[in-house]
A = this chain, B = another copy of it.
Amino acid sequence: MTSSKTSPALSRRRFLGAATAAGAGLAAAGSARAEAPKPDPLITDVQDWNRYLGEGVDKRPYGTPSRFEKHVVRRDVSWLTASPESSVNFTPLHELDGIITPSGLCFERHHGGIADIDPASHRLMIHGLVDKPLVFTMEDIKRMPRENRVHFLECAANSGMEWRGAQLNGCQFTHGMVHNVMYTGVPLRVLLAEAGLKPNAKWLMLEGADASGMNRSLPVEKALDDVLIAFAMNGEALRPEQGYPLRAVIPGWEGNLWVKWLRRIEVGDMPWQAREETSKYTDLLADGRSRRFTFFMDAKSVVTNPSPQAPLKHKGSNVLSGLAWSGRGTIKRVDVTLDGGRNWQHARIDGPVLEKSLTRFYVDFDWNGQPLLIQSRAMDSTGYVQPTKEELRKIRGTNSIYHNNGIQTWHVKANGETENVEIG
């Protein structure tokens, strides 16, 4: 065996510099030198977890996070809404990494609470302008050709409070109505082919089996393109709050269209003018007119770290991390500024870059303690560049709460605290 002797001298690594003195010193256990640094008991002492047997493999047939991660949770705003059954909670983006959102942390938005469905009793009906109306059991659907795809789901109202200026102090709240998972499902075009679309079939109506009977109209072109009727997410059955046992996956389009607990698809020749596409999910302009059926989620990005809930704690080396996505394709480039837009640099995009999926970016940077104004700007495969909030307001005013994909600004103060601000 090779020597395991180590230098008793306190060492510093180049990468992290002097700011990590407390943690970075190697304990000088056994050193006779009078000037040896004080041993760190966390290094010299044997910890309890190294001393006693831990939990066995029989205790948690379905595992859960560490008890030291209890702060990593969805946070709801039920106090803001009529009831918790018709409310929303938010993905803790500042605590996550990579591009897969853990299923238990995917934000929720319900209109009548979570339908608690027995899959053996669930049915999906396809009817209307079809040759043969059909009813599918879950077992039927699982016997048809399936596909796997990773897609983001973003609520059209994500960042909606920001239309009128910086409001919420944390990217969990400004941007947390987005998640990204791998779905498994049957292409809707396969199901529609079974039923046979009549020549005048132009629109579908998708309806949920929840207490609100949530429904939305969807153009046939999109249904025949890339829509999945999904029964699994991140490898396992859909979670109840994400539509168990069956939901629509409408890649790149606003989350409200992704009907959960899907029980019925009616085929027609016009949109249905449902509540969720008339009084809601329309974009009221300054002149009183409304944009409607604004399906696409345009390119957007946000720096998740640092951010108000994740301040800078150390000078020297730091990792800036963020997410970018586009409903129109892939992310081509992300630019980041640390000084409010005077200088921009290309972020390092890392991990899979997938179609209509969250994409992870990083900037590895040194912080000398000066205040920062951090922004990120995404460009997608169509060449579209994420606009500033001011550019958006000039065109769309400030009446709407939907489709705000403007550039977000975080102000890092000299003490590392970070706040949500707007700059001219």
Contacts and interface: CB of A to CB of B under 8 A. Distances in A.
A289 interface: no
Contact of A63 (B85, B106, B184): B106
Interface of A: 1-4, 6-7, 11-16, 20, 22-27, 40, 42-43, 47, 49-69, 72-76, 78, 83-85, 87-89, 95-106, 108-110, 112-119, 121, 123, 125, 127-129, 132-137, 139-140, 142-150, 182-184, 190, 194-195, 203, 209-211, 213, 232, 234-241, 244-245, 261, 263, 266-270, 272-273, 313-314, 316-319, 348, 350-352, 354, 360, 362, 364
A211 B273 CA distance: 63
A100 B182 contact: yes
A13 B194 contact: yes
Contacts of A148: 97-99, 350-352, 360
A135 B24 contact: yes
B96 A76 contact: no
Given A20-B137, A143-B318, 15 more contacts: A4-B128, A4-B268, A16-B144, A26-B125, A49-B116, A52-B211, A57-B89, A58-B76, A61-B76, A61-B89, A62-B105, A63-B241, A68-B244, A97-B148, A147-B351
12 contacts: A1-B270, A20-B139, A26-B135, A47-B209, A49-B211, A55-B241, A56-B76, A63-B105, A65-B236, A68-B117, A95-B236, A145-B348
Nearest to A272: B1
A142 B20 CA distance: 12
How many copies of the shown chain assemble into the complex?
2
B72 A57 contact: no
Contact of A209 (B50, B245, B267, B270): B50
Nearest to A316: B143
Contact of A15 (B49, B83, B194): B194
A146 B97 contact: yes
Given A26-B125, A50-B209, A145-B364, A1 B273 contact: yes
A184 B1 CA distance: 32
Nearest to A184: B97
A100 B2 contact: no
Contact of A57 (B57, B110, B121): B110
Contact of A13 (B105, B119, B195, B269): B195
A104 B85 CA distance: 27
A118 B135 CA distance: 52
A213 B50 contact: yes
Given A3-B268, A72-B237, A98-B148, A115 B50 contact: yes
Contact of A26 (B24, B63, B127, B317): B127
A237 B61 contact: no
Contacts of A27: 135
A66 B313 contact: no
A272 B4 CA distance: 11
A371 to B, nearest CB: 19
A204 to B, nearest CB: 10
A10 to B, nearest CB: 10
B11 A133 contact: yes
A220 to B, nearest CB: 12
B143 A16 contact: yes
Interface centre among A116, A213, A263 (most CB of B within 10 A): A116
A270 B2 CA distance: 6
Nearest to A96: B235
A98 B23 contact: no
Nearest to A231: B97
B69 A236 contact: yes
A156 to B, nearest CB: 17
A259 B59 CA distance: 21
The 7 A-B pairs of least Cβ separation, nearest first, read A2-B268, A56-B84, A54-B113, A148-B351, A23-B137, A61-B73, A13-B194
A120 B67 CA distance: 13
A123 to B, nearest CB: 6
B43 A211 contact: no
